[in-house]
Amino acid sequence: MLKVYRPVNAKGRRTMRKIDLRSDTVTKPTDAMIRAMAEAEVGDDVYREDPTVNRLEQIAAERLGKEAALFVTSGTQGNQVAVLTHCVNGDEVIAEAESHIFYYEGGAMSALAGVQTRTLAGVRGALRGEDVEKAIRSTTNIHFPRTKLICLENTHNRAGGAVVTPEQMKSVYDIGQKHGIPVHLDGARLFNAAASLGVDVRELSQYTTTIQICLSKGLSAPVGSILAGSKDFIEEARWWRKKLGGGLRQVGYLAAPGILALTEMTERLVEDHDRAKQLAEGFRKLSLEVEPVETNIVLVKTDSINQTAVDFLKLLAEQGVFAVDFDEYVIRFTTHRHISEDDIQHVLEVVEALITSVSAS
Ligand SMILES: Cc1ncc(COP(=O)(O)O)c(C=O)c1O
């Protein structure tokens, strides 16, 4: 029988405490965000008449050190609009083998932009400049497609929230510059990378041609991403966004919390990183193998306890703890604004009790 702590509600009944570590996307808007939504000044953004969207795009461009920015519905839309804007059918895109844009976007690069992807294995998610240079196609051989884009991801999700350093990004960007190939960064969690390194986000974004950042993950906005780049690029991207049905009208109601995401929520990400480290340390004390933790993602192996990720997740869910499977024997836990130190302690107690229970059975 599991002996895990179960709080008692006002009526004296045991209640299931729910701790959701599936993703930082589960974060709800702050009270200030909800107030900002209610009070937002809006207009028709397809006519570029929404002052709140215009302000968000201006703030985002400045924050990322780019000329212009575009509010898009999601990280996936931002990445795909970028590929559509940079490439034409038949072009080749270099991407890390486990990058989100390749692994988790439903094959959209090939389905929508008609490009093919050349994947390269990274080092904890980071592509190496020399590998990228070798993969760039010669333009003189008529058998080859043309390499038209290099994609990076920072932090790297499947590498466990790994941070790609400015030096690693520069090594790829310099190769891109040398060959006239733009670099698009999937920076869904770029502010986590900057917080972990203790640098301004521009230290990283300077080594990109275009960049997508998510407002709706650890930054807690309910919806949306930003795509940033040169003025000309963003004009063309606006056209692609419209073609994809992403031209929205009084969308300032959603841009308003996005402004607070960028101006008030980036500093606190270090708290999520501390909780992730606390969780990883606790797992290690329970003799579980854990990938190095740099930001808010913890990857834990379950083979040592003879449990597949899916089976162990079922046991966790019965105790009110939720995470996701990342591989047959790997579980991903993601910390965020709604996870307290006490929640982490509780998760560790649940995991300890479950390990005892499965090893006894
Ligand atoms: C690294 C990365 N890129 C892009 C995305 C896509 O974002 P969205 O879910 O807003 O489409 C995600 C979502 O989890 C992500 O982790």
pLDDT value, residue 211: 98
Amino acid at the residue 256? A
Read off the pTM. Answer: 0.95
Return the structure tokens found at 106.
Answer: 């439903």
Q: How buried is 121 (Cβ within 10 angstroms: 0-12 exposed, 13-18 middle, 19+ buried)?
A: exposed
Atom of ligand 1 nearest to the CA of 186: 3
Phi then psi for residue 152, to 5 deg, are -120, 165
Mutate to test the pocket of ligand 1, among 104, 155, 296, 326 (most ligand atoms within 8 A of CB): 104
pLDDT value, residue 12: 60
Query: How far is the centre of ligand 1, averaged over its atoms, from the C-alpha of 82 (Å)?
Result: 14
- 3-class SS at 14? strand
Distance between alpha carbon 15 and the CA centroid of its chain, in Å? 32
Query: How far is the centre of ligand 1, averaged over its atoms, from the C-alpha of 189 (Å)?
Result: 9
Q: Measure the CA–CA gap between 150 and 165, rounded to whole angstroms.
A: 17
Question: Which residue, judged by its Cα, is nearest atom 8 of ligand 1?
Answer: 75
The C-alpha angle 236, 238, 241, rounded to 5 degrees, equals 115
Query: How far is the centre of ligand 1, averaged over its atoms, from the C-alpha of 203 (Å)?
Result: 22
Helix (H) or strand (E) holding 316: helix 309-318
Instruction: Judge whether 117 and 109 are in contact, CB under 8 Å.
Output: yes
Question: Which residue, judged by its Cα, is nearest atom 6 of ligand 1?
Answer: 75
Query: How far is the centre of ligand 1, averaged over its atoms, from the C-alpha of 6 (Å)?
Result: 34
- For the chain, what are the domain ranges? 19-28+268-360, 31-264
Question: Which residue, judged by its Cα, is nearest atom 9 of ligand 1?
Answer: 75
Mutate to test the pocket of ligand 1, among 163, 211, 214, 254 (most ligand atoms within 8 A of CB): 214
- CATH annotation of 19-28+268-360: 3.90.1150.10
Query: How far is the centre of ligand 1, averaged over its atoms, from the C-alpha of 33 (Å)?
Result: 21
Q: What is the DSSP string of 93-136?
A: EEEETT-HHHHSSTTHIIIII--EEEEE--BTTBPPHHHHHHHS
Q: Render each residue's pLDDT in the chain as its tens digit; 361 residues.
A: 455 555 545 566 667 899 999 999 999 999 999 999 999 999 999 999 999 999 999 999 999 999 999 999 999 999 999 999 999 999 999 999 999 999 999 999 999 999 999 999 999 999 999 999 999 999 999 999 999 999 999 999 999 999 999 999 999 999 999 999 999 999 999 999 999 999 999 999 999 999 999 999 999 999 999 999 999 999 999 999 999 999 999 999 999 999 999 999 999 999 999 999 999 999 999 999 999 999 999 999 999 999 999 999 999 999 999 999 999 999 999 999 999 999 999 999 999 999 999 988 7
Q: Measure the CA–CA gap between 196 and 182, rounded to whole angstroms.
A: 26
The residues that bridge with 187 in the sheet, in sequence order, are 213
Q: How buried is 230 (Cβ within 10 angstroms: 0-12 exposed, 13-18 middle, 19+ buried)?
A: middle
- 3-class SS at 295? coil
Q: Measure the CA–CA gap between 18 and 12, rounded to whole angstroms.
A: 18
**CATH class of domain segment(s) 31-264:** alpha beta
Query: How far is the centre of ligand 1, averaged over its atoms, from the C-alpha of 8 (Å)?
Result: 37
Q: Measure the CA–CA gap between 105 and 258, rounded to whole angstroms.
A: 23
CA atoms within 13 A on the CB side of 357: 14
Torsion over CA: 179, 182, 187, 193 (sign): positive
Please report how the helices 269-285 and 190-197 are oriented relative to each other, as an axis angle in degrees rounded to 10.
80
CA atoms within 13 A on the CB side of 358: 18
Return the structure tokens found at 346.
Answer: 């509780």
Distance between alpha carbon 172 and the CA centroid of its chain, in Å? 20
How many residues in total does the chain contain? Answer: 361
Atom of ligand 1 nearest to the CA of 156: 1
Mutate to test the pocket of ligand 1, among 76, 79, 151, 164 (most ligand atoms within 8 A of CB): 76
Return the beta strands (E) in the chain as ranges: 19-20, 68-72, 92-96, 116-120, 147-153, 183-187, 210-214, 225-229, 297-301, 321-322, 324-327, 330-334
Query: How far is the centre of ligand 1, averaged over its atoms, from the C-alpha of 26 (Å)?
Result: 12
**Residue in the block written with tokens 């899916």:** 310
End-to-end C-alpha distance for the chain, whole angstroms: 11
pLDDT value, residue 14: 64
Query: How far is the centre of ligand 1, averaged over its atoms, from the C-alpha of 76 (Å)?
Result: 6
Query: Ligand 1: residues within 6 Å at CB?
Result: 74-76, 100, 153, 157, 186, 188, 214, 216, 225
